[in-house]
Amino acid sequence: MAEPSTSSIQVDQKQWRENILAEISESEMEKFSLFDVLLSDKYSKLIERVEYAETSEKRIPLEQRRLKQFGVLIIGDIKKITARKEKKYKILYTV
């Protein structure tokens, strides 16, 4: 049986390494996109929901949780979500 050449082993290792790195970066992007970044339409909906929770007289547990986690900062006509001081909640960024 013929031994594989050194160059073919290097090519196989390089291809294997590229496949592994691609899988890792894809996995990291999924984690990043699921937890740290909100698209602008979801961000707008979150702002609306927090504002609604602030104005409602009788709050359901979900609305209470939103108020615990977030606040709305209004500067001129621009509204932004602010995270409360508790460190267990991540700050969300919009795209």
Reported as a single tens digit per residue, the pLDDT across 35-71 is: 456 678 888 888 999 999 989 888 889 888 888 888 8
Residue with tokens 């496949």: 19
pLDDT at 34: 45
Grouping H, G, I as helix, E, B as strand and the rest as coil, residue 6 is helix
Residue spans of the domains in the chain: they are 1-35, 37-94
- 58 DSSP 8-state letter: S
Question: How far, in Å, CA of 32 to CA of 54, rounded?
Answer: 29
Burial environment of residue 57 by CB neighbours within 10 A (0 to 12, 13 to 18, 19 or more): exposed
Question: How far, in Å, CA of 46 to CA of 35, rounded?
Answer: 14
Distances, alpha carbon 21 to alpha carbons 18, 27, 32, 46, 72, in Å: 5, 10, 16, 34, 39
Average pLDDT rounded to a whole number, residues 20-49: 73
- Min mean pLDDT across 3-17, 21-35, 43-57 is at 21-35
